[in-house]
Amino acid sequence: MQVASQLVVPMLAQFPCTPLHLLGLDFYNRNNATMAQRSAFLAAQVPATIVARSIRMLPAWGFGGIINIESRKAIHRTARGEA
């Protein structure tokens, strides 16, 4: 269950984070845009951006987290003199 969580949660976090991030960027870059224009921008950009950011998170926060946990366990076992 921990491995599944370690792989899935970073990707699921992109669903609320990505639209907010893109909206903030849109406010910064197009400060005179209407909400209709912003909504159209988000509708066009959010799906592909969520996929890209989810894939980007997987190696570092997914696999990297699993490798880190297993490496620390192995180091602690070695330090305690366990096989």
Q: Report domain extents, the chain.
A: 2-80
What pLDDT is recorded for position 36? 97
Ramachandran class of 81: left when φ > 0, alpha when ψ lies in -120 to 50, beta otherwise: left
Q: What is the mean pLDDT of residues 5-17?
A: 92
* Sequential DSSP letters for 3-72: HHHHHHHHHHTHHHHHHHHHHHHHHHH-TT--HHHHHHHHHHHHHHHHHHHHHHHIIIIIIHHHHHHHHH
What pLDDT is recorded for position 65? 87
Six-digit token string for 38: 């912003």
Band of pLDDT at residue 83, cut at 50, 70 and 90: low
pLDDT higher than threshold 90 for residue 81: no
Q: Over the stretch 36-77, which tens digit does the pLDDT of each residue have?
A: 999 999 999 999 999 999 999 988 888 888 999 999 999 999
* Cα–Cα distance, 37 to 23 (Å, whole number): 11
Torsion of CA 12, 59, 29, 36, to 10 degrees: -30
